[in-house]
């Protein structure tokens, strides 16, 4: 490709809303352009990278007996009614009516569509196990698209679905797919990937893992142990907590004056108590307008995803002050004693039940109780669970060493779905005992555009991306300096044709631009190998060779440069 003919400009400045490196270089390098919020067009340079990523994905999916299909982007409501997700999924699922008034959805995920296809084709146990995958456009009406291709509304995803006769068979295939994902991310050049236990979310299922690129700009919080292999998304992470003394004698409940003392820190200081000996009241409201009263140890925070899973809620928002007052609780001084809890879901973190003589609110302005003991002083209905966030320095459940918090971008996920979709959608096969059974499913996803952006986040310098050779838009770039000069034009044209004829992808900067201008553009395009042709080097029958990462720079004979490049690429 001659650069004078390639569509896509390099830009000096990034858009003002581009706060992460991958977003900046995606726009500045001429890889993509924004059409609307979370919607992008790919330019030729970006499409070439995406094509190479998809090629790697296809090769690894095919290596584990995947069969590629293509499912529709638009689906009728009835499919999503069968699974129950038409009503259970929130506003991120885009619903609309076609010209006949029929209710339709834009696919944000394709479990329903693949089950619809599979139940028409898989009828016998002899066809199992099998896996179908696709690389397809999806649309999620994301409320906060950001960071370029990392969080978008329209996106391309590789999603795969496997079908099995038994849980044991799924277990085997699940980890085979996990290994295939490791190969995909390794082949695309990512170096800092963690595999973490994860929350299944709207996908459902019991077991889930996420593949996370460790980076400070990631949206997800990761809990990692450097002493063993424990790794989990903070949404589901667990830990061993430092023990609170439980052997102390239970003391009488006593109301004490705490004037203008509302926060846990202030209460702790005023009463000379450690924050671990206090109880924090948290009030939330779910999607059905149910009030949730959470009591948790004062030095801990509620992990909302854990709470959602515990009470089977889709959405939780902080309760307004009026709603808190309506159940007899006083904000800043709230507690269980004296509260009107008939229509309230009370959730108690395990840190409260395992703690004696703590400080809690008295539901009276400027007063708290000391020596509250949950099992002795509360007799109402409650749900108990581990709903606390893990914090830096908590102890690992596996080895007891301190845990570290990190940030990550989710680049892939795998789920064990079980019968969550096959059963409600009445997908059965005939087993060898002549009985109809529901297949057990697994689900495996990779966001292709997000992977593109993540590679830039992981492989760049201050000047632009440094593409791994496996996904680089071109294998090598030729920079012809003083291209109008006869000897430069003749040799660089000849070199371009010879490399191209040997099936080497070449980007030829045939513009008559100054060296600095060409090199800045070359850095933004990030092609790993660069050949610089100039009058100065041609006088010595040489060209200059450089690697984009700066690891090598030298002169090479004009007679040897083609064989040198070919050897490097091989």
Q: Is the confidence at residue 525, as pLDDT, over 90?
A: yes
| Cα(132)–Cα(314) distance, integer angstroms | 29
Which of the pair, 417 or 199, is modelled with greater confidence?
417
Q: Same domain, yes or no, for 452 and 481? A: no
Peptide bond into 547 cis (omega under 30): no
Q: For residue 205, what pLDDT band results from cuts at 50, 70 and 90?
A: low
Q: Same domain, yes or no, for 229 and 294? A: no
Residue 471 lies in a domain: no
CATH number at residue 273: 3.90.960.10
CATH number at residue 156: 3.30.930.10
Highest mean pLDDT among 102-111, 221-230, 242-251: 102-111
8 A C-beta contact, residue 162 and residue 439: no
8 A C-beta contact, residue 109 and residue 409: no
> Rounded to two decimals, what is the model's pTM?
0.87
Other CB atoms within a 10 A radius of the CB of residue 233 amount to 23
CA 477 to chain centre: 33
Percent of the chain scoring above 90 in pLDDT = 81
Q: For residue 34, what pLDDT band results from cuts at 50, 70 and 90?
A: very high
Give the H/E segment covering residue 473: none
Sign for the pseudo-dihedral over CA of 335, 340, 345, 350: positive
pLDDT at 206: 65
pLDDT in tens, 324-381: 999 999 999 999 999 999 999 999 998 898 788 999 999 999 999 999 999 999 999 9
pLDDT at 200: 60
8 A C-beta contact, residue 277 and residue 358: yes
Q: Same domain, yes or no, for 158 and 262? A: no
Residue 1 lies in a domain: no
DSSP SS3 for 336 = coil
Q: Same domain, yes or no, for 360 and 298? A: yes
| Cα(31)–Cα(156) distance, integer angstroms | 15
Other CB atoms within a 10 A radius of the CB of residue 66 amount to 23
Q: Is the confidence at residue 201, as pLDDT, over 60?
A: no
Q: For residue 144, what pLDDT band results from cuts at 50, 70 and 90?
A: confident
Which of the pair, 8 or 245, is modelled with greater confidence?
8
Average pLDDT of the segment spanning 19-23: 93
Q: Same domain, yes or no, for 292 and 438? A: no
Residue 36 lies in a domain: yes
Residue 15 lies in a domain: no
| Cα(276)–Cα(258) distance, integer angstroms | 18
Residue 312 lies in a domain: yes
| Cα(462)–Cα(524) distance, integer angstroms | 10
* Token pair 């969550």 in the structure block, residue: 420
| Cα(11)–Cα(524) distance, integer angstroms | 9
User: Which residue, 437, 509, 450, is CA-closest to 476?
Assistant: 509
pLDDT in tens, 461-516: 999 999 999 999 999 999 999 999 999 999 999 999 999 999 999 999 999 899 99
Average model confidence (pLDDT) across the chain = 93
pLDDT at 246: 56
Other CB atoms within a 10 A radius of the CB of residue 211 amount to 26
Q: Is the confidence at residue 203, as pLDDT, over 70?
A: no
Q: Is the confidence at residue 570, as pLDDT, over 80?
A: yes
Residue 6 lies in a domain: no
| Cα(387)–Cα(309) distance, integer angstroms | 9
Distances (CA, A) of 252 to 69, 255, 261, 469: 68, 10, 22, 71
Q: Same domain, yes or no, for 155 and 31? A: yes
Count up the domains in the chain and report the number: 3
User: Which residue, 285, 281, 290, 286, is CA-closest to 343?
Assistant: 290
8 A C-beta contact, residue 367 and residue 257: yes
User: Which residue, 529, 432, 351, 463, is CA-closest to 165?
Assistant: 432
Residue 468 lies in a domain: no
* Token pair 């992470």 in the structure block, residue: 237
- Beta-strand ranges (E) seen in 373-484 are 383-385, 403-418, 429-430, 436-437, 440-447, 460-461, 464-465, 476-480
Q: Same domain, yes or no, for 429 and 501? A: no
Average pLDDT of the segment spanning 189-217: 81
Long-range CB contacts (< 8 A, 24+ apart) of 93-101? 93/140, 93/141, 94/139, 94/141
Q: Is the confidence at residue 243, as pLDDT, over 60?
A: no
Task: Tell me the longest C-alpha to C-alpha distance in the chain.
Answer: 98
Give the residue numbers spanning the domain of 50.
21-237+405-457
Sign for the pseudo-dihedral over CA of 374, 375, 376, 378: positive
Q: Is the confidence at residue 245, as pLDDT, over 60?
A: no
Sign for the pseudo-dihedral over CA of 215, 216, 221, 222: positive
Tokens of 24: 């900046």
Q: Same domain, yes or no, for 36 and 113? A: yes
Q: For residue 202, what pLDDT band results from cuts at 50, 70 and 90?
A: very low
Sequence-distant (6+) residues with CB within 8 A of 462 are none
Q: Same domain, yes or no, for 356 and 320? A: yes
Q: Same domain, yes or no, for 144 and 202? A: yes
User: Phi/psi of residue 14, each to 5°?
Assistant: -90, 155
Q: Same domain, yes or no, for 505 and 376? A: no
8 A C-beta contact, residue 9 and residue 30: yes
Residue 12 lies in a domain: no
* Token pair 């003391």 in the structure block, residue: 251
8 A C-beta contact, residue 295 and residue 360: yes
Q: Same domain, yes or no, for 101 and 185? A: yes
Lowest mean pLDDT among 84-93, 150-159, 205-214, 535-544: 205-214
Strand partners, 489: none
């Amino acid at each position: 490709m001659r650069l004078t003919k390639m569509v896509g400009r390099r830009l000096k400045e990034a858009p003002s809303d581009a706060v992460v490196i991958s977003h900046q270089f995606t726009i500045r390098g001429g890889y993509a352009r924004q059409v609307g919020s979370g919607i992008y067009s790919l330019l030729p340079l970006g499409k070439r990278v995406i094509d190479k990523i998809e090629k790697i994905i296809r090769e690894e999916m095919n290596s584990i007996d995947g069969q590629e299909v293509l499912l529709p982007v638009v689906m009728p409501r009835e499919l999503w009614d069968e699974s129950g997700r038409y009503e259970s999924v929130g506003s991120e699922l885009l619903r609309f009516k076609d010209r006949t008034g029929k209710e339709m959805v834009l696919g944000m995920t394709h479990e329903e569509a693949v089950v619809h296809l599979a139940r028409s084709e898989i009828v016998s146990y002899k066809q199992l196990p099998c896996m179908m995958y696709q690389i397809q456009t999806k649309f999620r009406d994301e409320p906060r698209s950001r960071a370029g291709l990392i969080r978008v509304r329209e996106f391309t995803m590789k999603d795969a679905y496997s079908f099995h006769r038994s849980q044991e068979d799924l277990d085997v295939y699940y980890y085979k797919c996990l290994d295939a994902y490791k190969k995909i991310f390794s082949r695309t050049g990512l170096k800092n990937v963690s595999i973490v236990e994860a929350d299944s979310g709207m996908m459902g299922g019991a077991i889930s893992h996420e593949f996370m690129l460790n980076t400070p700009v990631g949206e997800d919080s990761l809990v990692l142990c450097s002493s063993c292999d424990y790794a989990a998304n903070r949404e589901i992470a667990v830990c061993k907590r430092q023990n609170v003394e439980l052997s102390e004698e239970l003391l009488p409940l006593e109301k004490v004056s705490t004037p203008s003392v509302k926060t846990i820190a202030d209460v702790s200081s005023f009463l000379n108590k450690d924050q671990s000996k206090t109880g924090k009241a948290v009030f939330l409201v779910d999607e059905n307008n149910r009030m949730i009263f959470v009591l948790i140890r004062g030095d801990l925070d509620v992990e909302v995803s854990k709470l959602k899973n515990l009470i089977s809620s889709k959405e939780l928002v902080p309760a307004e002050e009026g709603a808190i007052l309506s159940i007899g609780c006083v904000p800043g001084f709230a507690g269980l004693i004296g509260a009107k809890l008939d229509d309230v879901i009370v959730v108690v973190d395990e840190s409260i039940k395992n703690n004696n003589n703590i400080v809690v609110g008295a539901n009276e302005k400027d007063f708290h109780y000391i020596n509250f003991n949950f099992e002795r002083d509360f007799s109402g209905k409650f749900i108990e669970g581990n709903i606390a966030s893990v914090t830096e320095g908590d102890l690992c459940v596996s080895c007891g060493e301190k845990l570290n918090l990190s940030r990550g971008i989710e680049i892939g996920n795998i789920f064990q779905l079980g019968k969550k979709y096959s059963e409600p959608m009445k997908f059965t096969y005939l087993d060898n005992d002549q009985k109809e059974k529901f297949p057990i499913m697994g689900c495996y996803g990779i966001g292709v555009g997000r992977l593109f952006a993540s590679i830039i986040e992981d492989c760049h310098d201050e000047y632009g991306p440094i593409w791994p050779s496996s996904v680089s838009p071109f294998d090598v770039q030729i920079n012809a300096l003083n291209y109008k000069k006869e000897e430069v034009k003749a040799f660089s044209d000849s070199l371009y044709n010879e490399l191209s004829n040997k099936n080497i992808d070449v980007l030829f900067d045939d513009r008559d631009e100054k060296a600095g201008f060409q090199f800045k553009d070359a850095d933004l395009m990030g092609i790993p190998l660069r050949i610089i042709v100039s009058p100065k080097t041609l006088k010595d029958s040489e060209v200059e060779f450089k690697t984009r990462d700066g690891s090598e720079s030298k002169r090479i004979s004009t007679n040897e440069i083609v064989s040198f490049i070919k050897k490097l690429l091989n």
